[in-house]
Structure 1
């Protein structure tokens, strides 16, 4: 049972321009159909491994909103930005962006990976196919919106 997924989009911009978007969590509301705002927390002020932030989420873009605590787990400028969602003691899932130079552009891959806890495996068994499609659609929307912004800024 695969509890993960990814979507890739090529953007006509160099990795450092794309990096500026994917690593600035305060801009996620411009791009994501589910997370409409985020802010650095616990004294964190920018992307670095171990930095904390919280995202304000509306699941599937409808219904009640809630804040999710997040921690940056991988931060290699112009290459990878990954964060965990959950508490200090329990990680529920991980989200990230990989950037690969491609000529005069960048292939950007957004991905997620649920932790293999028993309750998440049960959730995925019941809701996995539907949630996977929703995640894929949301990742594609996020990346296409980023592409529009970064390519407009390039011209």
Structure 2
């Protein structure tokens, strides 16, 4: 598990009336997560991976309007009901971001905190902004996180 000393660039939290393990299973499955996320649209496992585990990699398909791009993610944290995290790189191997979901038990279920840490070098931000159409990534990801967490809550509570 990576220890992060700096604050995330974007974060959000929501209380969900479902067990942390059940909610974890939704976000740790890249296929399920694609149905909940704002820009992330799908995946394929790479390097022989077939399930979420530390070290597993998946190629992410992303979209925003008519724009499309691909990333490579490496799972760094896979603790059911506690934390799921992954590092994202560009297709050229340049760092992009870290995404993390933390789960805390709550009275009627759990609290989920979704966070993103920007990893792109400053010079790379212009190139990725042109590809994605997002010029203020922190603002966009704060809104994306809120939308993702609202969908996660609906999906988790509907499946109870």
Answer whether TM exceeds 0.5 for this pair: yes
Matched, 1:148 2:154: yes
Question: Structure 2 residue aligned with 1:95, among 83, 96, 99?
Answer: 99
By how many angstroms is 1:136 displaced?
Answer: 0.8
| Greater than 3 Å deviation, 4+ residue runs | 87-90, 120-123
- Report the TM-score when normalising by structure 2: 0.82
Give 5+ residue unaligned stretches, structure 1: none
- Report the TM-score when normalising by structure 1: 0.84
Task: Provide the aligned length of Structure 1 versus Structure 2.
Answer: 148
Give 5+ residue unaligned stretches, structure 2: 1-5, 128-133
Matches within 5 A, 1:15-54: 15-54=20-59
- Residues 53-72 of structure 1: CA deviation (Å, up to 9, x unaligned): 111101xx213212111100
Paired residues of 1:74 and 1:83 also in contact (CA < 8 A) = yes
Question: Structure 1 residue aligned with 2:82, among 79, 85, 100?
Answer: 79
1:112 alignment counterpart: 116
Whole-angstrom distance in 1 between the partners of 2:139 and 2:118: 15
Paired residues of 1:98 and 1:108 also in contact (CA < 8 A) = yes
Which structure is higher in helix share?
1
**Which has the higher mean CA deviation after the structures are superposed, 28-37 or 18-27?**
28-37
Whole-angstrom distance in 2 between the partners of 1:76 and 1:120: 32
SS at match of 2:147: helix
Q: Root-mean-square deviation (CA), in Å?
A: 2.4
